[in-house]
Amino acid sequence: MKYLIASVNLVVLAAPLFSMEPPRVLDVSEPPPAGIYILDLPQEDFDRAILSSSQFPGADEIVNALFEAPAEQVQAGQPVVKEELAGIMPLAQAFAMADAISLYSGQTVFANGTAGSCRYYSIDVPVGTSRLVAGLAGTSMVLENNCDIFAKLAVFPTESSYNANGLESLKGEVLTVSNPAPGTWYLMLRGTSDYRDVALTATCYRSTDIILTKVPANDQEVPFKAEFEGRVLDWESKGVTGITVRMRDPMTGTISSINASTDADGSFSCSVPIDMEGEYTFDFFFTGIPDAAGGTACHTVATLNGALDPNGPFDLYAYLDTTPVPLDAADTAGMQEFLSIRNGWESDKINPAYEEMWISRTAASISADAKLSGQFEEGLYLLLYGVEGAGAGNGMNARPVLSTTPLAVHVSPERKKAVLDNLASLGLLGESAKSAVMAGNIGIIAVAALESGTESSDRDMDIALSAADQMDVLASIADGSAGHVESRKVGNVNLKVLSIPFGPRKLNVIASGFVK
């Protein structure tokens, strides 16, 4: 049966529910927090307990939480130890939920409170919701007219127990839950100071996407500011206002919120200084990378590359566009995680499936990418796909793709024969291919950054390259100084894994040759 437990002033009293027995004092090793509890005993009166506990709004979720607690083997006259009280909920909190103000999706209410006070709200989240967004307007980032927001499924949140909490910005505070479980969610506003006329808006979205509407031009001389504009769209392609968009700075890996929330049209903008040459892929998202609910956007900015050696084997270079590869939700998240690890932003193990996808969509796909191969004229070219120049997510439309921006170099005519000989020695071109290129055909060597040659010992998974490093990798292959590691086959494409020395470290790349 159910026991009613009261913890008051370090004394714990217990009495069976629905009985006239007087309460007895329990001998506990450590009393639970002050409050009223229900303790589940495996006897009878289960139905009556449910009925009694259901006489207030929102009780079903509370009762489920109560009765999912492990059954306690407590018998009359025996002490209860601390561990047997774990997981039970104060009944006082359950009854307090009747006072939560119910909200519907998109509703705005105004709240007033004092420092340290808590106000509670509830919203029913339907099945299929991709995001629950609760925003505060009229708050401050300083200790003046300020409150914080917390959310939890089925029960009241606290400062120490919640599923999500708000992120502050200059315009207020926004809480976002990706793919929230359906059911009743409770919101708590806690005053960090006295506050008045703070607007709370809670909205359930079935789908939300970030798209970019303006991106920086490539080949700019550093330093310059990368100017981005974008929009947050709902499932009807309408702009969503009041959303905080976050961005990862690829130069530092730091994540920050864009200062202003989206405007009435769902638009946002930001400006980021770039002061070093190279490729930089910016990610825009709501909660994190990967984002469980999708909707992220990305774009690669390629600067002017001043590292082309006038005495080296190359006479021209360019960062090229490739055909984007469509991704489903699972592959978008998988590639985002792969690229985050390989750029040194996260520490984790590489999923072999996404390493294989990276290879198959870069070094192994050159012959199938008509958009890319159509940009070449007569001669010999080397391309490098680096993780720093790749992203997974939306671009200028709400369609997640893997996008890459490889660096292409053209071998000067007077060095072409020597470079062809070196490529043949590495197994990248055969004799017939060499002859075809010398006769005027187009030769293309596609190279993709693969792994650190020392990561098994130093656990450093970062293989992002600077502008100068990119040129050095291709020069090492062109002059034949790269070392052969192994041969691989992806689909019908034969590839070579090569080792490029970088001081104490080595970079392993994977490459294939193609004659057009």
Q: How far apart are CA 1 and CA 43, in angstroms?
A: 4
> Is residue 357 located within the same domain as residue 405?
yes
- What's the rounded mean pLDDT across residues 288-311? 91
Q: How far apart are CA 397 and CA 270, in angstroms?
A: 18
From the list 30, 29, 24, the residue with the least C-alpha distance to 6 is 24
β-bridge mates for residue 514, sequence order: 444
Among 35, 64, 96, the domain boundary falls at: 96
The confidence score (pLDDT) of residue 77 equals 35
Number of domains in the chain: 3
In 10 A of CB 31, how many CB atoms?
A: 16
Kind and range of the H or E run holding 467:
helix 467-478
CA 198, 204, 210: angle at the middle one, nearest 5?
95
> Is residue 324 located within the same domain as residue 418?
yes
| Residue 490 confidence (pLDDT) above 60 | yes
The confidence score (pLDDT) of residue 66 equals 37
Q: How far apart are CA 66 and CA 46, in angstroms?
A: 12
The torsion of the CA quartet 315, 320, 323, 328, rounded to 10 degrees, works out to: 130
Identify each DSSP E strand in 206-264 by its residue range: 208-214, 224-234, 246-248, 255-257
Q: How far apart are CA 146 and CA 149, in angstroms?
A: 10
- What's the rounded mean pLDDT across residues 340-353? 95
From the list 116, 113, 40, 25, the residue with the least C-alpha distance to 74 is 40
The confidence score (pLDDT) of residue 241 equals 87
The confidence score (pLDDT) of residue 86 equals 43
> Is residue 131 located within the same domain as residue 184?
yes
Q: Which of 74-88, 282-296, 297-311 has the lowest mean pLDDT?
A: 74-88
- What's the rounded mean pLDDT across residues 99-119? 90
Q: Which of 38-52, 275-289, 478-492 has the lowest mean pLDDT?
A: 38-52
Give the CATH number, domain containing residue 138. Answer: 2.60.120.380
> Is residue 84 located within the same domain as residue 161?
no
- What's the rounded mean pLDDT across residues 492-499? 95
Q: How far apart are CA 45 and CA 43, in angstroms?
A: 7
> Is residue 67 located within the same domain as residue 144?
no
456-473: per-residue pLDDT in tens?
A: 888 899 999 999 999 999
Among 144, 171, 205, the domain boundary falls at: 205
The confidence score (pLDDT) of residue 34 equals 55
> At 369, is the pLDDT very low, low, confident or very high (cuts 50, 70, 90)?
confident
The torsion of the CA quartet 422, 426, 432, 437, rounded to 10 degrees, works out to: -50
Among 160, 178, 205, the domain boundary falls at: 205
Largest Cα–Cα separation, the chain: 103
| Residue 403 confidence (pLDDT) above 90 | yes
> Is residue 301 located within the same domain as residue 184?
no
* Helix residue ranges per DSSP H, 177-218: none
The confidence score (pLDDT) of residue 35 equals 55
> At 294, is the pLDDT very low, low, confident or very high (cuts 50, 70, 90)?
confident
> Is residue 437 located within the same domain as residue 391?
yes
> At 91, is the pLDDT very low, low, confident or very high (cuts 50, 70, 90)?
very low
> Is residue 115 located within the same domain as residue 90?
no
> At 147, is the pLDDT very low, low, confident or very high (cuts 50, 70, 90)?
very high
Q: How far apart are CA 4 and CA 119, in angstroms?
A: 27
Indicate the pairing of strand 314-319 with strand 325-326. Answer: unpaired
Q: What residue numbers bound the domain in which 328 lies?
A: 277-515
Question: Helix (H, G, I), strand (E, B), or coil: what is residue 503?
Answer: coil
CB 452 within 8 A of CB 463: yes
Report yes or no on 234 lying in a domain.
no
Average pLDDT, the chain: 84
Report yes or no on 226 lying in a domain.
no
Report yes or no on 256 lying in a domain.
no
> Is residue 378 located within the same domain as residue 422?
yes
| Residue 249 confidence (pLDDT) above 90 | yes
| Residue 331 confidence (pLDDT) above 80 | yes
> At 90, is the pLDDT very low, low, confident or very high (cuts 50, 70, 90)?
very low
> At 288, is the pLDDT very low, low, confident or very high (cuts 50, 70, 90)?
confident
Q: Which of 140-154, 401-415, 481-495 has the lowest mean pLDDT?
A: 140-154
- What's the rounded mean pLDDT across residues 140-167? 89
Q: Which of 6-10, 171-175, 408-412 has the lowest mean pLDDT?
A: 6-10
Nearby residues of 237 by Cβ (< 8 Å), 6 or more positions away:
398
φ, ψ of residue 507 to 5 degrees: the values are -105, 125
Report yes or no on 68 lying in a domain.
yes
Report yes or no on 242 lying in a domain.
no
24-75: per-residue pLDDT in tens?
A: 666 666 655 555 555 554 444 333 333 333 333 333 443 343 333 333 333 3
| Residue 432 confidence (pLDDT) above 60 | yes
The confidence score (pLDDT) of residue 30 equals 60
